[in-house]
Amino acid sequence: MVHAQPDVLTPNKRRLNDSAGSGGLPTPKQQLSGNKQFQDNEIILDETGDNRQVDSTSKYMQQHKIPFDQVKRAVSGNLPCFYITFHPTNEDQKVPSAFNAADQMFEYLKQQNVQINRFSFVGWAGAKLKLGVNDKEDYINLVATEEWPTSIMNIPIAIEKPKYIPNFFALVIRYIPRGMDYEFVKEEISRSIVSVVNLKRIQYSYNRKIDDYRFHVKDLQEYNRALNMRRISIGNVMVPITRFLEGNKLTYCTRCWRVGHMRNKCPTATARCQICLQEITDIQKHNCSQQPRCAQCDGNHHSLSSQCESIKAYKVQLKEEVDNALARGAIHRSESNKQVPIFNQDDFPHLSNPNRNKVSAWRLKQGPAHQPTIEFTEITEVLTALNNRTREPTDRLEKIILKYIQNCT
């Protein structure tokens, strides 16, 4: 028995590594919030390494070996999940099984005309029921709808939606002239793609005369339309637009902020602040110093910053392990589902009259279909006449020579 729910709770952003199939870095704004030398609308790519980085990488690879589950998670591409929290009103109410609750949730959404397929992932994350889908359209429909139930089997529930937009809906526009202002580029993109959010300028480790921008598109139809168009106008300049290709996801802990394990396997008893790494016993009383501190090397940067030598070494080793696993066929990169049209020979029958007259695009007068045959016949007759005229002098010359030989004998 399910009941309609007027409002859906939207808690704070859930970390990707709360799910067993997801991992990855926080958004660039979170990662660089304490570093004043970077702007909020910029994405910093990894810089090229020096001798110190090579030494650190070799030392890290000798001391650590990346487990296969982290290698597999690096290429995973799961969409964020939805969480359901049950609130029994008395001790007699028993929480239903995961599959039973998921089926009732699906049937209720179906009755509310929410067009989705069945949930591709159903499981428990602690006391919360975790539901996931693989299709982008299903995900967008679930995020956009407010027709969620308020109870399942007479047990009140609360729905937690993902608050952030995954990189599955990220696009990149390339080759923007450096002289164009950020606000101007943002306005130009918004004129073509209304649902654009989180526009960031990508900064490379080398000097470039052009810029690339990454952004998210909340509307799936606009996302697909932009990919099909392949180009967009920015200040009377047509620039290419491509899908954002995400790098290997890191396995890190949101309790201690160290790489190599996840929160459910963290040996630390008390959670630490993401920025200053101070222990948090009460989140309401915590006063962050806003001074970044690295959990990997104790440096003055964020724990997952690309400036950290340990993070650089981990990325290098992770890439090597992923490449080797892909070459062996042990893992496969998840790719977006592409609908391939089915070719049917009956859909393209042969023309019954291939010699029928064609309609001119410029409305020019055209002769009948047999006109080329008449022209070829006339040309053949002219060539035959020329051949006959050429043969007459040759015959005369042969007769003269033959007559001269007879007179001599």
Residue 87, CA distances (Å) to 125, 127, 246 in order = 15, 10, 38
In DSSP notation, 349-407 reads: PPPS-TTSPPPPTT------TTHHHHHHHHHHHHHHHHHHHHHHHHHHHHHHHHHHHHH
> Residue 311: what pLDDT?
92
Name the packing angle between helices 220-229 and 136-144 (round to 10°): 140
pLDDT of residue 129: 94
Burial status of residue 265 (CB atoms within 10 A of its CB: 0-12, 13-18, 19 or more): exposed
Write the burial class of residue 30 (CB in 10 Å: 0-12 exposed, 13-18 middle, 19+ buried).
Answer: middle
Query: Thinking of the domain 167-243, which architecture would CATH place it in?
Result: 2-Layer Sandwich (3.30)
Give the whole-angstrom CA distance, residue 17 versus residue 386: 88
pLDDT at residue number 2: 54
What are the backbone dihedrals phi and psi of residue 145, each rounded to the nearest 5 degrees, phi first?
A: -75, 150
pLDDT for 132-159, tens place per residue? 998 889 999 999 899 999 999 999 999 9
Which sequence spans correspond to the domains of the chain?
A: 27-66+247-331, 167-243
- Cα–Cα dist 139/161, whole Å: 10
Please give the pLDDT value at position 273.
94
Structure tokens at 253: 């802990």
Q: How far is residue 158's CA from residue 7's CA, in Å, rounded to a whole number?
A: 9
The answer to whether the predicted template modeling score (pTM) of the entire model surpasses 0.85 is no
pLDDT in tens, the chain (409 residues): 555 554 444 444 444 333 333 333 344 344 334 444 445 676 665 544 444 444 554 454 455 578 888 888 888 777 899 999 999 998 888 999 999 999 999 999 999 999 999 999 999 988 999 999 988 899 999 998 999 999 999 999 999 999 888 888 999 999 999 889 999 999 999 999 999 999 999 888 788 889 999 999 999 899 999 999 999 999 888 999 999 988 888 999 999 999 999 998 999 989 999 999 999 988 888 899 999 999 999 999 999 998 899 999 999 999 999 999 888 888 877 655 444 445 566 666 766 665 555 556 566 555 555 556 677 788 888 888 887 777 777 777 778 888 777 777 6
110 close to 53: Cβ distance less than 8 angstroms:
no
- Determine the pLDDT at residue 171: 95
* Contact predicate 174/184, CB 8 Å: no
